[in-house]
Amino acid sequence: MNSPDIRFPTQAFLQLMNLFQPSRVRYNRRVFCNRNLRMEKIEAIGLDMDYTLAVYKIEFDQLAFDLTCQRLVERYQFPREMLGFRYDPEFAIRGLVIDMRNGNIFKMDRHRHVSRAFHGTRRLGSERRVELYRKNLIHLSRPQYFLVDTLFSLPETHLYAQTVDLLDSLGQGSADNYESYYRAIRRVVDEIHQDGTLKQAVLRDLPRYVERDNDIAYTLERFIDAGKKIFLVTNSDWDYSDPMMSFLLDDVIPGTHRWTDYFHTIIVSANKPRFFTQTTPLVPEKDAKESDAGKVFRGGSLRKLEERLQTAGDKVLYIGDHIYGDMLKSKRASTWRTTMVIPEMETELDNMESVREEFLKLDRFFQRRQDLNVELNYQQRLLLSLVQLQDMASANGDYRNPIPELAQVSEKNVAETRRALRMAERGYQETMKIVHAPFNPRWGMLFQESSVHSVLGAQVEQYACTYTSRFSDFLAYSPVHYFRTPRDVLPHEREG
């Protein structure tokens, strides 16, 4: 990197002005914290490439969808009707589960409770949903389930749903067919990624398929100027990574012509998640340019990378987009700190901001409903006690006691509390509809299912120390910022 000069503070100041509202970071560009993270203690920062630095546009999903359909029909003789399938980018979200034996797609909360499911593209009836997913605990490790945990999986999820509809319309909808067709779709998606079909199409027109965020370069430079080593670990090969990163970073900052100048170490074809558990040595990338010699490698392992970086453990922050391949495996194999990049969260946060007042109103209705339930329980117990006392007095021949009048007052209180509870419930449900309106009409909010975390929300909370919508969101913070988590509280601590 070139030494800092007068242009960098100017550029950084302009970037910060764009990211700030008065006294706070713009809501959809914040870095959120699950576990305290002192950036001043971080010595090395690692980055994934796909969907972390290289964020793909909807056109990329459409391309993957179309190429998969074409190959299924032309090479594997799938029904030609599949060529008429149309991709809906709003159909699926991350965190869904594909039940390939039943042709279903469903969303769970953190307790494995399924409250919404689709058979193909059609909503599954409640009786069938309960029969399949309420009587037995769902184990996602079973072969029939596939967790949609990466943005790359969204096109194939909609493709599978339409395939289920097609099989049903042809009278071929059976467990064996649902499963075999999904496995074929999954295999072809892997093929077009691995054999270069998809990547070559992307490289021919990068601006069409990939967002170019110039703030990435300034964010990297700020970290470097703060003395942190930057490394890249991607499963993509050099022939794809080099032009992709060149598109993102070359010549963004005057004086920094080559993207590799930002990185201490670059690892391609990393074979994650096994990268985090194996002990394979770093192999120099033979196709790298001579100017990049000594910093570009293939394969390798976490331990060998730590030796090269001369730092390890919680002094390393790794930033990626994949719960399993980036977050979970790095957490289980090391004490690296983690940040998860969730590109679709930016829209989610915009939607939340648009109904912020309704969210607050919903909380008030929730608390009101809870308080009235407690009050109703008290009034019902009081009425029952009065009735029992009245029965005892009648049995003893005492007809002059005031209990009947008290019981009438109690009955009135019970009726009024019930009426207030019904009104609070109605207000809660009406406000809930307003709150949910901006979000996905099939699946709702990304991190929530009903009133608890979705599977994705629970995984982000468990495995990501911090999370944000894009890597360049760090530009709004000092490179030595102290990210603090809100205090954990149990229900008994919230209620007084």
Long-range contacts of 110-115 (CB under 8 A, 24+ apart): 110/449, 110/452, 110/453, 110/454, 110/455, 110/457, 110/458, 111/452, 112/137, 112/138, 113/449, 113/450, 114/138, 115/449, 115/450
In terms of Cα–Cα distance, which of 230, 255, 227, 311 is closest to 479? Answer: 227
- H helices present in 81-231, as ranges: 126-133, 154-169, 175-194, 197-203, 206-209, 215-225
Give the other-Cβ count within 10 Å of 476's Cβ: 21
Rounded to 10 deg, the angle between the 403-436 and 356-395 helix axes is: 160
Tokens of 91: 């159909």
Tokens of 94: 């991350």
Alpha carbon distance, N-terminus to C-terminus of the chain: 56
Question: Dihedral of the CA atoms 165, 168, 169, 171 (nearest 10)?
Answer: 160
Catalytic residue ranges:
48, 50
| Amino acid type, 257 | H
Q: List, in sequence order, every beta strand (DSSP E) within 3-92.
A: 20-21, 24-25, 32-33, 37-38, 44-47
Q: From CA 197, how far away is CA 66, in angstroms rounded?
A: 12
Tokens of 56: 């793909």
What is the per-residue burial (b if ≥16 Cβ within 10 Å, else e) of 233-271?
Answer: bbbbbbebbbbbbeebbbebbeebeebbbbbbbbbbbbe
Give the other-Cβ count within 10 Å of 35's Cβ: 15
* Helix, strand, coil % over all residues of the chain, rounded to 5: 50, 15, 35
Q: From CA 430, how far away is CA 89, in angstroms rounded?
A: 28
- H helices present in 329-486, as ranges: 329-333, 345-354, 356-395, 403-436, 455-463
Local structure of 385: helix, strand or coil: helix
Give the other-Cβ count within 10 Å of 135's Cβ: 7
Tokens of 329: 């495996």
Rg of the chain in Å (alpha carbons): 28
From the number of C-beta atoms within 10 Å of its C-beta (0-12, 13-18, 19+), residue 139 rates as: exposed
